[in-house]
Structure 1
Amino acid sequence: MSDFLKNHKFSILLLLAGIAFYWSFAYDLDRSDFIKLISLYTGLFFISFKIIQLEKTNFWFLAGIAILFRLIFIIATPNLSQDFYRFIWDGTLILEGLNPYLSVPKELPTSLQPISQELIQGMGSLSAGNYTSYPPVNQLLFAISALLGGKSILGSLVVMRLLIILADLGILYFGRKLLLKLDLPVHQIFWFILNPFIIIELTGNLHFEGVMLFFLVWSVYLLHQKKWIRSAVLLGISVSVKLLPLLFLPLLWKYFLKKRSFKNLPDNALIKNKIKQVQELNFQQLFTYYLIAGFTILISFLPFISSEFITNFSASIVLWFQKFEFNASIYYVIRWIGFQLKGYNIIETAGKILPLIVMIILAALAFFRKNNTTERLLSTMLLGVSAYFLLATTVHPWYVATPLLLSVFTNFRFALIWSFLVILSYSAYSNAEFKENFWLIAIEYILVIGIFLLEIFRPRLLSRFPYYK
């Protein structure tokens, strides 16, 4: 024990500092205090990445620190997000035998549950006045949390937090296995698992991106193992937690339909016919993969499906594209141009056009990029989801969890930088009017996009930095 302390004394000092910083973040931080928020966040980034640098070969030590940091938040009330009130509300409705997709909270009697009034007030008027947009598997987790929480907000918070921590451990397990299969350094998974952004936004603020990503990384691992039927089921479950993985389905086209070369083969019609049969079989596999994933998604939605559900759920999805605005990048430039030309906010028009551009980009990535290996597929998934967020009207900080995890399996590091800079968006909470600081948002995206462009066109310029070696 004494030898361990002697050999790891600086790491242990960093660990103790990290505990103090996370405790302050969890129990002694108001989100309006932006200076304190960004100071703690910056300190935690230094602590975590210094520990990874020092202990990169000590997997279990890093894993233990990751669990310890998460457990600090176990009874904390999220201080950067109020979405958890809506999660508990939806789960409570399911336990009462009510369909959460068919009504908005403010329309229901507040006597439904003893805690209902507190939930409605806590979630805020925006959430209380709109239909839920969370898919069925996510709703199931809400119901489990409400059930095991025993009609207590704190109890439900603890259950949700434990579920999210378990999902992170699943990402650690399958992420490590996938890195080994791809012959990449295992410690890279800690750029996600020990990242303060992930610990704070998922475990701390109770966002379920981690659960979605657990099923996604498990699915990709099985796909790499050529166990594509189970992979398709897990991808469908991932979509039923968050709809985002739907973006990745088109990108599988060339992964299944790998081109066969006729070079160096004898001019034999029988051989060529065999290769053609293999190509046809791959198309059958691709079609079956899509069918299984789609069927899994459909099964999850069946308990809630009705014409009213389709109308309400579609309306809630449209809101994200044509009504809500937060921490956008390219869209804010387009909006500014719209004000100059039209004199008003053109979000409804832009919200219809930008998704079409995303679809075109995804189609181009699917058909013109060689996604015939797992490494290339993961890189393309990263590019596709990043393009989606860069063109989105709303980019909440926790959304960056997806590009961050995908980047772990690639040579790209811009998402790692993004996971640090995205905290600048919380400057909006530092004023009573919830007004965004566009200078800070500009800094965020100029740096992220700039680093991305350097990684594409001038990678040698970045090779001197530790996370590019």
Structure 2
Amino acid sequence: MENSSSKIHLSWYIFLAILFLVALYQLAYLTPNRTDIASIWTFLALAFIAYFSILKRFNDSNHQKLNLGLAIISRLLLLFSFPLLSDDIYRFIWDGSLILHGINPFSFTPQELMLEKLDWLDPLLFQKMNSPAYYSVYPPINQLAFLLSAIPGKGNLLASVIILRIFILAFDIGNIFILKKLLRFFKKDERLVFIYALNPLVIIEFTGNLHFEAVMIFFTLLSVWLLHTNKWILASLALTLAISAKLLPIIFLPLFIHHIGWKKTFYAGLFIGFTTLILFLPFIHNLELAANFLQSIQLYYGKFEFNGSVYQLLKEVGWKILHYNPIAYTSKILLAFTLIGFLITYIKSKNIIEGIFWLLFIYTLFGAIVHPWYMLILVAFTPFLKWRFAIVWSVLICLSYFTYRVIPYQEEMFLVWIEYGLLGLFMFYELVFKPRRREIY
């Protein structure tokens, strides 16, 4: 009887694992494009159903190896796919091609270079990229990966994608193992790693769509680990590398004060500033290049909008009062809210993990641009904390893919309010009522 029960148990796990892999395969290989929102939502829903079922019923000591294998296999499954939900890949390879041919990607916009009619430039990349009038905004580690991806040359797009995917895949698998290491260090249940490792959005956006937040998460986690093992200089170097993958981690530095004090944090800041400068120097070594870089960042944050929460509220108020989108004003208000939130977090946070989590939540809460992959670092830090709203958000934020259903893209505000309304209700439930958690996740 017990043997029969074990077989049923294993069969149910196999069914969920197959459902998980089939859903990811459908999204990666068989969904024609990102305008097919019905397919995207359907197979993401199936993947999340399998994910939550595995966490609830099969995240025990008997299934740890199976779950780890599933996490790695699901990523490898996407190796030969083409990014479905993001067109950033075209700019990635474009920048890499420029470096490969001795041109600084911060020196010219794609529009300017196309006028030169260089035979090695791929017109397809130019036609597909989303910001041809802007200089590059990508830091040095990204540019190194872009260079590697450009080696196959013009007309070998899938080969370039595979090279870039191997680069990001290595870091994302590294995230799983460093999370396990940190969970052991903090004497938490290692099974909590599968909150991140099996999350379908993590797999789709990092391995599938090739976003460098996976690299940023790796070096941020590494910095946390080194800081807690009394290696603050190496922790500073790891934070430098996180900044060199995504500028955002610079906001984590003040959290060092709680661990190493003001004096060492000051020296860490000098070290991080110097090493970051060294890493940027091959690309930005004069005022003109720095101005080009800053111009693109300012345009990005001052012009674009996607899936913002508080931003959308201020925008609606602006339309009612001013009869136009006051993004120039709302961006300043949101920046003020963000800085106040940061200051409160620096003062109130009990440890660096909690501090990083809330800094990033505040950053996304007041951001005008909140792409799905922006919030995934919250999922990475969730295993260490008592809150689970980031997992719920990783499901709800998939509603934002509806924006891609038409070209040019158009947001459906009703779905934005549903996303943040449900998230707010769940956060209220978690933060106010603080339910006793019995499940491993």
Q: TM-score range by the shorter chain?
A: over 0.9
How many Å apart are 1:352 and its aligned residue? Answer: 2.4
Structure 2 partner of 1:218? 222
How many Å apart are 1:378 and its aligned residue? Answer: 1.0
Confirm or deny that 1:165 pairs with 2:169: yes
How many Å apart are 1:189 and its aligned residue? Answer: 1.4
Q: Is the contact between residue 254 and residue 366 of structure 1 (CA under 8 Å) also seen in structure 2?
A: no
- Which whole-Å CA distance do the structure 2 matches of 1:107 and 1:121 have between them? 14
Q: Secondary structure at the match of 1:76?
A: coil
How many Å apart are 1:149 and its aligned residue? Answer: 6.8
Confirm or deny that 1:228 pairs with 2:232: yes
1:289 to 268, 272, 275: 268
Confirm or deny that 1:116 pairs with 2:111: no
1:82 to 60, 69, 87: 87
State the TM-score, normalizing by the size of structure 2. 0.93
2:36 to 33, 36, 47: 33
Q: Is the contact between residue 78 and residue 205 of structure 1 (CA under 8 Å) also seen in structure 2?
A: yes
- Which whole-Å CA distance do the structure 1 matches of 2:87 and 2:207 have between them? 14
How many Å apart are 1:430 and its aligned residue? Answer: 1.7
Root-mean-square deviation (Å)? 2.0
Q: Secondary structure at the match of 1:8?
A: helix
- Which whole-Å CA distance do the structure 2 matches of 1:113 and 1:451 have between them? 54
How many Å apart are 1:465 and its aligned residue? Answer: 6.7
1:153 to 146, 152, 157: 157
Confirm or deny that 1:400 pairs with 2:405: no
The verdict on how the C-alpha distance between 1:205 and 1:285 changes in structure 2, with shifts beyond 3 A counting, is: same
- Which whole-Å CA distance do the structure 2 matches of 1:158 and 1:395 have between them? 26
Structure 1 counterpart of 2:118, one-letter code: L
1:351 to 324, 331, 349: 331
Q: Is the contact between residue 19 and residue 46 of structure 2 (CA under 8 Å) also seen in structure 1?
A: no
Return 327-336 or 100-109, whichever deviates more. 100-109
The verdict on how the C-alpha distance between 1:213 and 1:151 changes in structure 2, with shifts beyond 3 A counting, is: farther
Q: Is the contact between residue 179 and residue 186 of structure 1 (CA under 8 Å) also seen in structure 2?
A: yes
Q: Deviations over 1:188-238 (max 9, x none)?
A: 111111100011111111111101111111111111111111110010000
- Which whole-Å CA distance do the structure 2 matches of 1:148 and 1:63 have between them? 32
Confirm or deny that 1:131 pairs with 2:135: yes
Structure 1 partner of 2:193? 189
Confirm or deny that 1:447 pairs with 2:422: yes
The verdict on how the C-alpha distance between 1:248 and 1:22 changes in structure 2, with shifts beyond 3 A counting, is: same
1:20 to 19, 22, 33: 22
Q: Deviations over 1:325-347 (max 9, x none)?
A: 11000010001111112121110
1:360 to 340, 354, 357: 340
Unaligned runs of 5+ in 1: 258-282
Q: Is the contact between residue 109 and residue 132 of structure 2 (CA under 8 Å) also seen in structure 1?
A: yes
How many Å apart are 1:80 and its aligned residue? Answer: 0.9
Q: Secondary structure at the match of 2:384?
A: coil
Structure 2 partner of 1:418? 393
How many Å apart are 1:452 and its aligned residue? Answer: 2.1
Equivalent residues in 2 for 1:57-72, closer than 5 Å: 57=61, 58-72=63-77
The verdict on how the C-alpha distance between 1:148 and 1:285 changes in structure 2, with shifts beyond 3 A counting, is: farther
Confirm or deny that 1:45 pairs with 2:45: no
The verdict on how the C-alpha distance between 1:12 and 1:328 changes in structure 2, with shifts beyond 3 A counting, is: same
Equivalent residues in 2 for 1:220-259, closer than 5 Å: 220-257=224-261
1:301 to 280, 292, 301: 280
How many Å apart are 1:59 and its aligned residue? Answer: 2.6
Q: Is the contact between residue 174 and residue 218 of structure 1 (CA under 8 Å) also seen in structure 2?
A: yes
The verdict on how the C-alpha distance between 1:113 and 1:224 changes in structure 2, with shifts beyond 3 A counting, is: farther
Structure 1 counterpart of 2:258, one-letter code: K
State the TM-score, normalizing by the size of structure 1. 0.88
- Which whole-Å CA distance do the structure 1 matches of 2:37 and 2:273 have between them? 43
Structure 1 counterpart of 2:392, one-letter code: I
Confirm or deny that 1:179 pairs with 2:188: no
Structure 2 partner of 1:264? none
How many Å apart are 1:431 and its aligned residue? Answer: 2.7
- Which whole-Å CA distance do the structure 1 matches of 2:425 and 2:363 have between them? 17
Structure 1 counterpart of 2:91, one-letter code: R
- Which whole-Å CA distance do the structure 2 matches of 1:115 and 1:18 have between them? 39
Q: Deviations over 1:250-288 (max 9, x none)?
A: 23333333xxxxxxxxxxxxxxxxxxxxxxxxx322112
- Which whole-Å CA distance do the structure 2 matches of 1:370 and 1:26 have between them? 39
- Which whole-Å CA distance do the structure 1 matches of 2:421 and 2:188 have between them? 29
Q: Is the contact between residue 75 and residue 154 of structure 1 (CA under 8 Å) also seen in structure 2?
A: yes
How many Å apart are 1:370 and its aligned residue? Answer: 4.6
Q: Secondary structure at the match of 1:41?
A: helix
- Which whole-Å CA distance do the structure 1 matches of 2:197 and 2:437 have between them? 24
Q: Is the contact between residue 322 and residue 352 of structure 1 (CA under 8 Å) also seen in structure 2?
A: no
Structure 2 partner of 1:9? 11
How many Å apart are 1:113 and its aligned residue? Answer: 5.0
Q: Report percent identity of matched pairs.
A: 36
How many Å apart are 1:244 and its aligned residue? Answer: 1.3
Structure 2 counterpart of 1:28, one-letter code: L
How many Å apart are 1:453 and its aligned residue? Answer: 2.8
- Which whole-Å CA distance do the structure 1 matches of 2:59 and 2:316 have between them? 47
- Which whole-Å CA distance do the structure 2 matches of 1:409 and 1:356 have between them? 29
- Which whole-Å CA distance do the structure 2 matches of 1:151 and 1:84 have between them? 14
